[in-house]
């Protein structure tokens, strides 16, 4: 597998793992509900989507959530340059091809 894995794939897997771990850790550390991320991170994310970013909304966010936000952004930027982009393609030719016979009886 090492021969077929590019350095970009390794970076993607590292950031994807970091995203999963920080998301899980943020959820577990916030199990008591002391920080309601929907109230603070939601408006910040919406400001990004409408192309009017408001970085001041992230000032009082716990570090675990900031790392989580950074890591998923890194995954989004790296994704098109990795092999994982192939999950977006659909093999239309498989719908009309004839069956493949691997061995005869």
Q: Are 75 and 15 in contact (CB under 8 A)?
A: yes
- Residue 105's pLDDT band, with cuts at 50, 70 and 90, is low
Question: Domain-by-domain residue ranges, the chain?
Answer: 7-95
Q: Are 77 and 19 in contact (CB under 8 A)?
A: no
Q: 25-81: per-residue pLDDT in tens? A: 999 988 888 888 888 899 999 999 999 999 999 998 999 999 999 999 999 999 888
> 0.85 exceeded by the pTM?
no
DSSP state of 30: T
Looking at 7-50, which runs of residues are DSSP E strands?
Answer: none
pLDDT given at position 90 = 80
């Amino acid at each position: 597998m090492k021969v077929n894995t590019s350095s970009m794939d390794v970076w993607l897997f590292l950031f994807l793992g970091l995203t999963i771990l920080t998301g899980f850790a943020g959820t577990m550390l916030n199990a008591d509900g002391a920080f309601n991320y929907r109230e603070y991170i939601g408006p910040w994310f919406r400001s990004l989507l409408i192309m009017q970013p408001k970085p001041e909304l992230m000032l009082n966010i716990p570090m675990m959530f900031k790392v989580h936000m950074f890591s998923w952004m890194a995954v989004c930027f790296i994704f098109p340059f990795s092999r994982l982009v192939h999950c977006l393609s659909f093999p239309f030719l498989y719908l009309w091809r004839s069956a493949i016979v691997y061995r005869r009886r």
